[in-house]
Amino acid sequence: MASAWDAPLVIAVAPNGARLGKSDHSALPIIPAELATTAAACMAAGASLLHLHVRDAQGAHSLDPRHYRPAIDSIRAAAGDGLVLQVTTEAAGRFDRAAQMACVRALEPEAVSLAVRELAPDDAAEPEMAELAGWMADHRVSPQYILYDTADVARFADLLARGVLRPERASVLFVLGRYAAGQRSRPDDLLPFLAAWRPLGLALPWFMCAFGPLEQACALTAAALGGHVRVGFENNRMLADGTTAPDNAALVAQAAAGAALLGRPVADASAARTLLSGVQAA
């Protein structure tokens, strides 16, 4: 059986985020047609998962299925099944837990990201979170739980141990440097996460994302240590040489080149779905 390090590297791309606009980068995709073009280019560059944000008619972050569905349809038309599509439930200061959970149920997506501290912030929130987790397991939705620090890692492990969260098809995302000065991540920001994660012995895939110009260094570190990576304009718009990336695909291509330096194969969508299903490749 292959080790985590030998397993194909899933490169996820987060092309837009909840708050950015064309003033941040002219190639930041917002409308469905732009998302479709970006998706196809990122797939060709090596991405196998796309983390999707959509906007309303005013350009504001939206969780409305009426805004999600045209984007999903456009991406599927451009990329077929060549990307795992992961929708977000990010609150972004606009949505409460009820709206976040309703979005998941209405869309029944292939994959979804959920911040533990948003969806299960306290004991009172746990019954509803447990219902959603069971629903996702029953509907074969792949949840990715976002963890911002080691306290979130401990909270996630506790919720999983008590059955509030479910392990089926689950993965986690370590967000490096979320509270660093200027939101600039460093490769060693990963170390506290792994120190908290590895003793848990959980057989779940872990991903990382990072802010700022060392995004690629952080990605290479994670890939070398057996994790998977998320890059893209949501968190960083600079290439490793300090110049502005022309588009999201350039960031994906850099991550794929880093994997080649490590001798680690890059996953296609089929391998990514196998990983997220919890099935171990022989």
Model confidence, pTM: 0.96
Res 180: pLDDT: 63
Alpha-carbon torsion (269, 274, 275, 277), positive or negative: positive
The domains found in the chain, sorted by start residue, are 11-277 (3.20.20.70)
Instruction: Classify each residue of 92-103 as buried b or exposed e, where b means 16 or more C-beta atoms within 10 Å of its C-beta.
Output: beebebeebbbb
Res 7: pLDDT: 86
How many angstroms separate the CA atoms of 189 and 133, rounded? 29
Write out pLDDT tens, residues 151-183. 999 999 999 999 999 999 999 999 998 766 677
Residues lower than pLDDT 70 in the chain: 1-3, 5, 179-181, 279-282
Write out pLDDT tens, residues 116-162. 999 999 999 999 999 999 999 999 999 999 999 999 999 999 999 99
Total H helices, total E strands in the chain: 10, 10
- % of the chain residues with pLDDT over 70: 96
Q: Which residue has the tokens 């012995």?
A: 201
**Helix axes of 32-45 and 65-79: crossing angle, nearest 10 degrees:** 40
How many angstroms separate the CA atoms of 86 and 107, rounded? 11
Alpha-carbon torsion (22, 24, 25, 30), positive or negative: negative
Helices within the chain (DSSP H only): 32-45, 65-79, 97-107, 116-119, 126-138, 150-161, 190-197, 215-224, 248-262, 269-277
